[in-house]
Structure 1
Amino acid sequence: MTPRRALVVSTAILLAASVYVNFFLNKGEAKVPREPLSSIPTTFDGWASADQAFPTKVLETLGVDEYLMRRFTKGKDAVWLYVGYYKSQKEGAMPHSPRHCYPGSGFNPIRNDIVSIPVTYPGLREIRPNRYVFAKGAEREIVVYWYQSRG
């Protein structure tokens, strides 16, 4: 067999194997067992919460399969928690980024960095989320966020 013919045959075999693996052996996305977002505690260390709802138009824009938005309060202090869950990231909806929605609401980013937050979770000591400070006039909002996939 000539070197050129060997190259053509090898390429054809690799192409056929790739097609076979991608179309016949691919089992789809991994199914990750998870708890519903409603199982996230509603109180902790003196903080109480109330669930909030997005308007339908906002939900359509987000494209989430499930979400949780809670306002936790303790005295005069308040903290908002938003968690969005997407079953798939293959196509369609993209995760919601505060870097886009806050400026769209008239806030300007004045500082950003990455922070370390200790956690007690098997195999994990800390998370390193993004932290932004947004300003709109005299109003300041601190936003801490990260993305987590496959569990």
Structure 2
Amino acid sequence: MEMDFIQIVNAHAGILHKVCRLYGKEEEDRKDLYQEIVLQLWRSFPTYRQEAKPSTWLYRVALNTAISLVRRQSRRVSPIALNNELVAIVQSTQSSEIDEQMNQFYSAVDQLSSVEKALVFLYLDNNSYDEIARIVGISNSNVGVKLNRIKAKLKRIVTTINE
């Protein structure tokens, strides 16, 4: 059982790192989140029935853990919104255009709700609407509607950042 668990986690470590990058602000936060996700995966492994793909199960546990942790932390500390000047300063210090675009993307995604972040992440990771629906626990058609709304919202956020 332990070897099966380790094999699944190692095979899908990229998923864990993506979730941690998406929900962890600082490197230490990402490390803590990674450990918490692995702990929750270990706790839930005995109930994993292998009806779904391992990646689907892993996504579900990782995203639920990350969202729960973010909600707990948001109750303790109120977030400080960055104004456009601070965003511009951060972006101007980047050396390459790709870094700038990635920072802009993460800055825009940071302004989404936890569920919206999860949907974007799953979509960008090339999951089908069926897989996203199973992971998040909503219908296929609802996935499509939510993704379209999120895309429009991201477009507005990026436009605001660029002004």
Same fold (TM over 0.5): no
Which of structures 1 and 2 has the bigger CA Rg?
1
TM-score in terms of structure 2 length: 0.28
More helix by share: 2
Larger RCO (CA within 8 A; separation ≥ 6): 2
Q: TM (normalized to structure 1)?
A: 0.30
